[in-house]
Amino acid sequence: MAKKCEICGRVGEVGSRISHAHNVSKRKFYVNLQRMRVKIGKEVKKVYVCTQCIKAGKVERPSY
């Protein structure tokens, strides 16, 4: 699965996993991606889009 938004290009961020004993290890915060059908130009494609782009209305869904 792609881990990048096709619209805005957002990718995951790196952070730290900290235990109760304060042992620190690296972890990744992934983007909330949804696979949806999007109208790009005159064609319809299935792409991975982050939920922020969907809420902001940056994606045009095809009308049937």
- Per the structure, the complete domain to which residue 55 belongs is given by 1-64
Three-class DSSP category at 62: coil
DSSP string, 1-55: ---S-TTT----EEEEEE-TT--EEEEEE---EEEEEEEETTEEEEEEEEHHHHH
φ, ψ of residue 49 to 5 degrees: the values are: -130, 140
Structural domain tally of the chain?
1
CATH number for the domain harbouring residue 58: 2.30.170.40
CA distance 60 to 32: 18
* One pLDDT digit (tens) per residue for the chain, 64 residues: 678 999 999 999 999 999 999 999 999 999 999 999 999 888 999 999 999 999 999 999 988 7
Please give the pLDDT value at position 10: 94
